[in-house]
Amino acid sequence: MMHYFHELGINEYDNVLYDMGMKEKEHEMYFLAQIKHNRWLPIFEKIFFWGSKKV
C-alpha cells in the first residue's frame, strides 16, 4: 500500500502504513502456524501462491 501512496506523492502516512504492514505479517505468520500440518496446505499453496514457502 505504501508503494501506491508514494506513486501518488503521499508520504505523510509512511509510519502508519509500515506498522499496518508489520501487523499484517504477524497475522499471516500466526495463522500459517495454526494450519502448518493440515493436509490441504500444499494444495492451497499451489492455488493461491501462499503458505510456508512464501513466509
- Asked if 22 and 6 count as a contact pair (C-beta separation under 8 A), the reply is no
Distances (CA, A) of 26 to 5, 7, 32, 45: 22, 26, 10, 18
Instruction: Of 47, 18, 52, 14, give the one whose Cα is nearest residue 32.
Output: 52
Cβ neighbours, 10 Å, residue 51:
18
Domain residue spans of the chain? 2-48
Which DSSP state fits 25?
A: H
pTM surpassing 0.75? no
Q: In this predicted model, what pLDDT tens digit does every residue of 21-49 receive, in sequence order?
A: 999 999 989 998 999 899 998 898 889 88
